[in-house]
Amino acid sequence: MNAPVSLEKDSSARLPRPMLVKTFDGLQGRFLLRPWYDWCGVRAIVNWYFPLSRAWAAALQAEGDLDAFNGALGTRIRNSGLIRSALEQTSLADRAYLDCHQRWESCFFGEGNSHKTGMATAEVERQALSKRRMLCRKAYLPWRRKFPKLLWAVSPREDVERDHGKRLLDLDSAFAAPSLPVLEQSGILHGNWDSDAPYRQYWLRFPSLVSGEEGKAWAKVYEPETGATDAPCIIFLHGIGMETDFWGEMTDPVNMLTKQGFRVIRPEAPWHGHRRLHGQFGGEPAIGQGPLGFIGLFHAWVREVAQLIEWARRNGSPQVAVGGLSLGALTAQIVATQARNWSSERRPDQLLLITTSEDMLDIALRGSMARLLEMPRRFAEAGWAEADLARWTPLLEPHGDPVMAADRIVTLLGRADDLTPIKGGENLMRRWNVPENNIFRKYQGHFSASLGLYQDNSVLMRLAEIMKADR
């Protein structure tokens, strides 16, 4: 049984002030947060970040062995001091992080963790070494053009049929979540967003629902320093490939909702963060496996969110909202419709969608990132026609009505979004009869709209307003 969250303080476990994000302030922000930023951003991700991440993941797997590195990438990079240095640097950073993480887990989840000293130091060290390991990607810049963008392994139709075919026959139970497991809670850290906004932070971990994965699912929790026992809760889901340790602790506008008295839960998606698969970078399997990747990710993450909703209610939250951006929004909207088939304690009360679409085929076949990755060609080579893909949309899209009333749904859409094309988001809002005052539209693209929350958090304040009125 899950015990209520302890409110005991450990004054020694106080974090340094989070990094203040000023990049998107004022005139600079108005210049950056325009559609041109997205045109550049999606190409930088596909042509730079993905191949460097592919090399980085292969280097972690190779553990300094050049032959193994070339074998994982299908490259023929010659032995030289430069490549040996890059591989050695990555291997050393990996070992340092893994050793640190082992100490961190012992400190945070060991016996009597809520009274241990050194927790803040352990967390700062873990984030620093994680960032150092992730930044090893830049060591492979000289060979960027030689690397594949992704580890492509698009599963054939028969594999998807084998793993998920029965779910299509009974959509009401296609996302049935098992009973609530024991969620392990870490020791508690304390910090301040600013001089008068203290918060608490801790981790939850519980059995993963990813098929074949024996590890844990992870979520970081932010709470107001006082009043956390009955704080309304927002479960917010991140986008594909996002690794929060890459940036460290920042004044994220979602996390800072603790200033408004909210509990904020930030789960890690399957194959991201602590759940990254060895030899692959964060989120890579979801794209590289084709339809099976996203079907499997949604199947696991939607049900894990159901468990977190129940955990939040059992730990005092009278209202629980589910939201997300990009991949997180696509997941949250499935939660909103599948929750009709769940018990009342697993049903979210409100929904927040940032840069979303109801049309997964449009995203996968015609979205800007899909085109740059040549996903339609990859699917076709693996035997997938558009009609074959369409058969699986009941497991990829929000079918039917959401569990919450339309006026409890808030969304932010980028008018120039061509990654999750805006037409699909507009169609969803129209189908669900979401009132216009709950729909925020910006002349921005996919990335600039979500990053624009640092400059204008009106959509978050609208959700907060609705949740406070519902208490």
Mean pLDDT of the chain: 93
Class of domain 157-469: alpha beta
Closest CA to 179 of 209, 216, 201: 209
**Reduced to 3 states, what is the DSSP secondary structure of residue 412?**
strand
CA distances (Å), origin 109, targets 95, 97, 203, 205: 21, 17, 9, 10
Residue 469: pLDDT over 70: yes
Q: What is the pTM of this model?
A: 0.95
Looking only at the bridges linking them, the beta strands covering 320-325 and 350-354 are parallel
Residue 272: pLDDT over 90: yes
CA distances (Å), origin 405, targets 131, 342, 370: 41, 16, 33
Closest CA to 355 of 431, 452, 261, 276: 452
Q: Which residue has the tokens 């053009």?
A: 145
Q: Is 348:321 a contact under the CB 8 Å cutoff?
A: yes
Q: Mind listing the pLDDT tens digit for each residue in 384-416?
A: 999 999 999 999 999 999 999 999 999 999 999
Higher-confidence position of 299 and 116: 299
Residue 118: pLDDT over 90: no
Quickly state the pLDDT bin for 12 (edges 50, 70, 90): low
Residue ranges, CATH 3.40.50.1820, the chain = 157-469
Residue-level pLDDT at 213: 73
Residue-level pLDDT at 245: 76
Separation between Cα atoms, residue 218 and residue 34, nearest integer Å: 34
Alpha helices by DSSP H, listed for 135-247, are 157-169
Contacts 24+ apart (CB under 8 A), 369-374: 369/42, 369/45, 369/46, 369/419, 372/42, 372/43, 372/46, 372/47, 373/46, 373/50, 373/149, 373/150, 373/287
